[in-house]
């Protein structure tokens, strides 16, 4: 795998956000750190916030809403097989690959890394998050760099399910004021709409709850009355957001965060 990592990667992200068009993937040096949980907050019955802080975060990079990391889990016998940095600004992973799961960076302050994790039934990652306590160490790999998208459009549509809420919330928190925003959120349980969102002028929130007949996310987005210069950020279950891939590619960032029936989907 070849990745060209420019030494000014942070400036390139900022420049694209300020003056670019469309989504642009900008790679970072991929790091790995092991740090303790310093705070735990139950945001809803289905979402927990874990705050991580420690000296190992000193070389961590995160600059955009689509950034994600891998949490590395120990083997069933408790053995940790962590990746290590190599000379190509990437990671060497042990074989076989340890169990990992991807999570969005909700916030990174330069000292504290915040992860908001969906609690679903089954799965080692969800079960770990359900019981993770302050003081427990967590191994985090990444981010590898995400898809930066600009703040230059007249309007934005953020179309997400519960897994995409942290990315949408980060964008609402960090994007400059000005453009109007439609935030369309689809969840399985109404209580998930209690997830805390940043206060921001010009945001219209459309709250959907699945009724067992399939997803209404894509159809709802397609029915919105929006200006021509509207950028779409869509993140969630791969099949639910697939119909939105007809959106002009230079006006969209669309990523399947998970897929029904597939464990550990690599983001696509």
Per-residue pLDDT at 264: 57
Cα–Cα nearest to 145, from 12, 20, 49: 12
User: Is the CB of residue 203 less than 8 Å from the CB of residue 172?
Assistant: yes
Decide if pLDDT at 263 tops 70: no
Mean pLDDT along residues 26-33: 94
Decide if pLDDT at 98 tops 90: yes
Burial of 84 (0-12, 13-18, 19+ CB in 10 A): exposed
Q: What is the mean pLDDT of the chain?
A: 93
Mean pLDDT along residues 36-49: 97
Per the structure block, which two tokens stand in for 196? 């805390």
User: Is the CB of residue 32 less than 8 Å from the CB of residue 98?
Assistant: no
Per-residue pLDDT at 219: 97
Rounded to 5 degrees, φ, ψ at 265 are -60, 130
Per-residue pLDDT at 125: 81
Residues making up the chain, counted from first to last: 268
Tell me: the pLDDT tens digits for 51-66? 999 999 988 999 999 9
Tell me: the pLDDT tens digits for 215-233? 999 999 999 999 999 999 9
Mean pLDDT along residues 23-41: 95
Handedness of CA 26, 226, 178, 186 (dihedral sign): negative
pTM score: 0.94
């Amino acid at each position: 795998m070849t990745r060209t990592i420019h030494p000014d990667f942070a400036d390139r992200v900022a420049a694209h956000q300020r003056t670019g068009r469309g989504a642009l993937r900008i790679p970072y040096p991929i790091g790995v750190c092991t740090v303790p949980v310093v705070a735990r907050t139950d945001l809803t019955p289905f979402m927990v916030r874990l705050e991580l802080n420690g000296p190992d975060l000193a070389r961590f990079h995160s600059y955009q809403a689509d950034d994600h990391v891998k949490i590395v889990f120990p083997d069933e016998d408790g053995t940790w097989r962590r990746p290590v940095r190599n000379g190509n600004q990437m990671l060497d992973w042990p074989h076989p690959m340890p169990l990992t799961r991807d999570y969005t960076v909700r916030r990174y302050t330069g000292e504290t890394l915040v992860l908001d994790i969906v609690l679903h039934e089954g799965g080692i990652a969800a079960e770990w998050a359900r019981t993770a306590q302050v003081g427990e160490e967590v191994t985090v790999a990444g981010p590898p760099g995400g898809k930066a998208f600009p703040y230059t459009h007249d309007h934005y549509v953020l179309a997400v399910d519960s897994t995409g809420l942290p990315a949408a919330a980060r964008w609402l928190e960090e994007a400059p004021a000005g453009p109007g925003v439609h935030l369309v959120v689809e969840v399985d349980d109404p209580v998930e709409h209690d997830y805390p969102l940043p206060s921001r002028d010009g945001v219209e929130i459309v709250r959907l709850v699945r009724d067992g007949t399939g997803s209404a996310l894509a159809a709802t987005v397609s029915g919105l009355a929006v200006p021509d210069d509207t950028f779409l950020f869509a993140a969630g279950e791969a099949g639910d957001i697939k119909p939105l891939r007809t959106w002009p590619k230079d006006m969209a960032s669309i990523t399947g965060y998970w897929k029904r029936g597939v464990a550990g989907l690599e983001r696509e």
